[in-house]
Amino acid sequence: MLKLPKDFLMGGATAAYQVEGATKEDGKGKVLWDDYLEKQGRFSPDPAADFYHRYDDDLALSEKYGVQTIRVSIAWSRIFPEGTTDKLEPRGVEYYHKLFASCAKHHIIPFVTLHHFDTPKKLHDMGDWMSPVMLDSFVDYAKYCFKEFPEVKYWITINEPTSMAIQQHVSGTFPPGEKGRFDNAVQAEHNQNVAHARIVNAYKEMNLGGEIGIVHAIQTVYPYSDSQGDRHAAALKDAFEDRFYLDGTLAGEYSPETLSLIKEILDANNQPMFKSTPKEMEELSKAAHQLDFVGVNNYFSVWMRAYDGASETIHNGTGAKGTSVSRLHGIGEERKPDNIETTDWDWAIYPKGMHDTLMRIHNDYPLVPATYVTENGIGLKESLPEGATDDTIIDDPKRIDYLKKYISAIADAINDGANVKGYFIWSLQDQFSWTNGYSKRYGLFFVDFPTQKRYVKKSAYWFKNLSETHEIE
């Protein structure tokens, strides 16, 4: 039987906008999503999991089921409603002090993200990650949080810079919904790498004794076949979606090969290369040498084929299996081998991808002292059985099977030398999904959204046992 190390932390992940609800309460400022979602009319971010009012109950439940650590994010616009630090909202500050006190009460360690896809609207309108005002304000807000919340010992600068950049500028699934602007995506990623680095360097100068890291979405990329074309498509995809920001944040420099692959993509699309300054590159290098940990979000893997046509992407945001399309001009086309199992949202279930990603960090980025798996889990269509009572347990064998396989892959990577120190399931409780609304459920705890009642899933019992025994059964 596979075992996890004794001090391995078992956690649950959340993000402010996906759990808190209360988007108009206590002076919270608007973020990029509010008007966008309202106009789209598919689903509302309120009430989400109503965590703004129910955090203490959720943390009590977490403690009961073996959750030792939790990822939460601070909603920047609760503290600074306009993003810039000239206007402070004390009710927002108070809320996070209460949340962290509740974590302490329930013996749960918070890992706190400063930016989880929720740029304040005013800064988004100025250009989001492309705006120097946004970048400076982000650094100021981070420094404010470091001073204000000494009770936090683990900080995460940014959640998934690449997901944000690509969905904002290439696939168009995040506001402002731009498509095919590979150049803007690369520039936004570089800017996020730099903002992250400036914050890490500032944190280290403040000498607060805690740890700081960044969370990356890393999908493992494989060639569809052994042909030269497919192998090159995989290298391009990996450079664009993984390697560019891994190099920037974990090595502190972009390797010549990464830069040449990025340039090839931009040239193919007649778009200019990103801009950087020597000072920015110094910040990147300094930060990479002081980073305490990297968070890896890995759910699925992709396989690439050579492709020469126009870019076309279709997002499966409803769970209609087999409807996703991703063909990117200058990169390649996603195509899964037939024997690979997928979820209803077309995410390939491939635990070996988790192992390979963790080994890649271990082998290719030797500056990284420690790794946490900061998100992993499976989105399923789940419903409350008829006649459910308070004690009803939601049966989710698919989730248990998925977790077993992926956590075993993590244990294998640890045995192969990777320094993985903890695991956060996405998600702690069912929550709001940015592009899928409320039907894609990931939680250990089922949330009946109309009543906000919580029901325990079988996977929570499985998780509790793993957390207590560290044996993967």
* Cα four-point dihedral sign 208, 211, 216, 221: positive
With binding defined as CB under 6 A, does residue 303 bind ligand BGP?
Answer: no
Only one of the segments 247-255, 285-293, 330-338, 435-443 lies at the binding site for ligand BGP (rule: CB under 6 A); that segment is 435-443
Instruction: Please say if 280 is a catalytic residue.
Output: no
- The residue type found at 74 is I
As to burial, measured by CB atoms within 10 angstroms (0-12 exposed, 13-18 middle, 19+ buried), residue 238 is: buried
355 binds ligand BGP (CB under 6 A): no
Q: Helices H, strands E: what count in the chain?
A: 16, 15
In the complex with ligand BGP, the residue whose CB is nearer, 350 or 434, is: 434
Instruction: Enumerate the H helices of 329-421 as residue ranges.
Output: 351-364, 397-415
* Crossing angle of the two packed helices 182-206 and 161-169, in degrees rounded to 10: 150
| 192 is a contact residue toward ligand BGP (CB under 6 A) | no
Output the six-digit token pair for 432: 């709001």
Count the site residues for ligand BGP by CB under 6 A: 15
DSSP structure class, residue 343 = -
H-type alpha helices, 239-330: 244-246, 256-268, 278-288
Residue from 160, 183, 189, 238 binding ligand BGP (CB under 6 A): 160
> Which part of the chain contacts ligand BGP (CB under 6 A), choosing from 25-33, 287-295, 327-335, 428-436?
428-436
Q: Where does this chain touch ligand BGP (CB under 6 A) — which range of 158-166, 221-229, 349-357, 463-471?
A: 158-166
Here's the x/- map for ligand BGP, 14-43, by CB under 6 A: it reads as -x--x-------------------------
Nearer to ligand BGP, 214 or 306 (CB): 214
Q: Which of 163, 191, 193, 219 binds ligand BGP (CB under 6 A)?
A: 163
Residue nearest to ligand BGP (CB): 433
Smallest distance, ligand BGP to C-beta of residue 297, A: 6
Of the pair 160, 183, the CB lying nearest ligand BGP is at: 160
- Residue 376 within binding range of ligand BGP, rule CB under 6 A: no
Three-state DSSP at 181 gives: coil
Q: Please state the closest distance from residue 176 (CB atom) to ligand BGP, in A.
A: 18
* Cβ closest to ligand BGP, residue 15 vs residue 186: 15
Q: How far is the CB of 160 from ligand BGP (least distance, A)?
A: 5
Report how far residue 262's alpha carbon sits from residue 126's, in angstroms, rounded to the nearest whole number. 26
Omega before 47 cis (within 30°)?
A: yes
159 strand-pairing partners: 215
Single out the residue of 119, 187, 357, 433 in contact with ligand BGP (rule: CB under 6 A).
433
Residue position matching structure tokens 């695991």: 423
The one among 71, 106, 440, 457 contacting ligand BGP by CB under 6 A: 440
Active site residue 160: yes
Contacts of 40-43 with CB under 8 Å at 24 or more apart are 42/437, 43/432, 43/437, 43/438
Query: Out of 89, 160, 283, 334, which one is annotated catalytic?
Result: 160
Q: Which residue has the tokens 């989001």?
A: 128
The nearer residue to ligand BGP, 250 or 378, going by C-beta atoms, is 378
Q: What distances in angstroms separate CA 60 from CA 68, 103, 327, 391, one per listed residue?
A: 11, 9, 45, 16
Instruction: Fill in the DSSP letter of residue 441.
Output: B
Told to check if 290 binds ligand BGP by CB under 6 A, we report no
Chain residues that interact with ligand BGP, rule: CB under 6 A: 15, 18, 159-160, 163, 217, 297, 375, 379, 426, 433-436, 440
Catalytic positions = 160, 375
